[in-house]
Amino acid sequence: MEKYKVVVKAKDSKCPFIKEGDQFVIEGTMLNLKETDSLCTVALSSMNYSLYMMSNVKDPKSFGRSEVYCLQCPDPDTRVIFEITREPLG
């Protein structure tokens, strides 16, 4: 099965810890620390299923997703909107 690099980039943020443009990168099931600017565990836990699916399925449309889509952090005070994209690994 082909593996994917999933890039999660903050498009809009009112959070004091996550700035617009910050990203974290998932390769397969692992976090790429060298390419990660910041990581919020609340946001990560809320999008965990989507990240796993994007890194492991051939066609994200079968799960109601596109190759690029947006999710919002569940914390209503921070309103961070993340853009999630993927590309094949190696």
- 11-54 pLDDT, tens digit each: 999 999 999 999 999 887 788 999 999 998 888 888 888 888 88
> pTM, whole model, 2 decimals?
0.84
Q: Map tokens 């998932």 to a residue.
A: 26
Cβ atoms of 23 and 35 closer than 8 Å: yes
The predicted pLDDT at position 2 comes to 60
15-20 contacts: CB < 8 A, separation 24 or more?
15/40, 15/73, 15/75, 15/78, 15/79, 15/80, 18/43, 18/73, 18/78, 18/80
Q: What is the total count of domains within the chain?
A: 1
Expressed as residue numbers, the domain containing 22 is 4-88
Rounded Cα distance between 33 and 3, Å, is: 18
Rounded Cα distance between 59 and 28, Å, is: 15
The predicted pLDDT at position 12 comes to 92
